[in-house]
Amino acid sequence: MPKQIRALYGAAWRFTFLLMLIDCIWAVRIGFRLARGGVMLTIALTGGLVAISGVLWVLSRIPYKDASRSVFYRNVVDVFLWITVLATFSKVCVVFQYLCVTTNFPLASHAFIAADAALGFHWPDTYRWVLAHPWLHRALGWAYASGACQLFVVPVILAITRNTRDYAEFVVQFMVSATLVILISVPFPAESAFVHFGIHDPGTASTVSDFGLFRTGQARELNLSFVQGLVSFPSLHTILALCFAYALRHAGYVFPVAIVLNAFMIVSTLTQGGHYLADVLSGLVAGALVIGLVRRFAFQAASPVAGRIPSALTS
């Protein structure tokens, strides 16, 4: 791992531990608890990733006759190291999200609905129209669900194409984005459009049921194995769609496919994610800013990428 990237990797872990400390202090002060089972599973997952990284590191140090094999293992171990910090941060950050929900600031949902109306967008009408076209509803559902799949597929593609630096950049973008949207959501909390408009179809209001429970203090224990995304404004799903596509910009023919898929995923956040149009538009702005700022201040001295993409993905 290059020196600059190694320094960022260390900074990512330090930030994760700092956020963990904040979580612990805040949780103790308000009587917030984590279910033991979820914590143990998280520790086991992190330990497993560390063990895999260790095995791959050993394999990368073996003097192979084919030098490209050693390079491949080094790329894979770098990706796994970043996956480990991302997985750990995600759990720490989701606790921070739930803690922020407990602040119980006045809801800003009506302001977002008014902004949507000013732009000529009416969420209930859009939802009913999509629901009236089953094929479109299914397609948008697949696009929305692709976000979780891409978290696994993107690092694999970037490891194969030797673009591990791009994955490191994605992880930093993810960490900055998640922290940013949670902090913004504290003074501007909003219930999901599913909840606000009384939508109780399968996979709608039930996916954000924790928002009201933790906001009002009815719930104070979180199981890390069963968490929900509770931030409405800005839309983190929209930001991640931009980051996914950007991360694959050096992956040959995969890049245009990623653009189309993630553009569709952004559209899907309205009806499948229960987001207001204001959430999505603010997510686009925030995503562009995060990508630009991370690129400018953390990855400005990017190494050349020409000639490092296997022909299997470029022809």
Using CA atoms, how far residue 179 sits from 4, 92, 184, 283, 307, in Å, is: 23, 11, 9, 13, 35
Quote the tokens at residue 246. Answer: 């950007």
| The predicted structure's pLDDT at residue 307 | 38
Helix axes 236-247, 134-160, angle to 10 degrees: 50
33: which strand partners? 221
**Token digits of residue 192:** 């999901």
Tokens matching residue 308: 């490092």
User: Can you give the pTM of this predicted structure?
Assistant: 0.89
Question: Is the per-residue pLDDT at 314 higher than 60?
Answer: no
Q: CA 204 to CA 4: how far, in whole Å?
A: 43
Between the alpha carbon of residue 184 and those of residues 7, 25, 42, 51, 100, the distances in Å are: 28, 21, 27, 36, 10
Question: What are the tens digits of pLDDT across the range 217-229?
Answer: 899 999 999 999 9
Q: pLDDT: is 308 or 117 the higher one?
A: 117
Position 59 confidence tier, pLDDT thresholds 50, 70, 90: confident
Structure confidence by residue, pLDDT tens digits, 189-222: 999 999 999 999 998 999 999 999 999 989 999 9
Checking if the pLDDT of 88 tops 60, the result is yes
Q: CA dist 102 to 216, 218, 248, Å?
A: 7, 10, 37
User: Residue-wise over 271-282: b if at least 16 C-beta within 10 A, else e?
Assistant: bbbbbbbbbbbb
pLDDT reported for residue 33:
94
pLDDT band at 141 (very low <50, low <70, confident <90, very high): very high
pLDDT on residue 15: 96
User: What local confidence, expressed as pLDDT, does residue 291 receive?
Assistant: 95
Nearest residue to 169 via CA among 79, 252, 254: 79
For 33, phi and psi rounded to 5 degrees?
A: -125, 155
pLDDT at residue 36 is higher than 70: yes
**Planar angle of CA 295, 243, 202, nearest 5 degrees:** 155
Find residue 34's DSSP bridge partners: 222
Domain limits at 65? 3-314
| pLDDT single digits (tens) 156-183 | 999 888 888 999 999 999 999 999 999 9
Give the largest Cα separation in the chain, rounded: 65
**DSSP string for 268-298:** HHHHTS---HHHHHHHHHHHHHHHHHHHHHT
Tokens 């609905």 locate to: 113
How many structural domains compose the chain? Answer: 1
Residue 15 and residue 119: Cα distance in Å, rounded?
39
Does 313 score more than 60 pLDDT? Answer: no
Q: What percent of the chain shows pLDDT beyond 90? A: 75
Distance (Å, whole) CA 219 – CA 239: 29
What is the chain's Cα-based Rg?
Answer: 21
User: What's the rounded Cα separation, in Å, for the pair 48 and 220?
Assistant: 29
Q: CA-CA distance, 116 to 124, in Å (whole number)?
A: 11
How far apart CA 269 and CA 123 sit, in angstroms, is 12
With tokens 């320094």, the residue in question is: 7
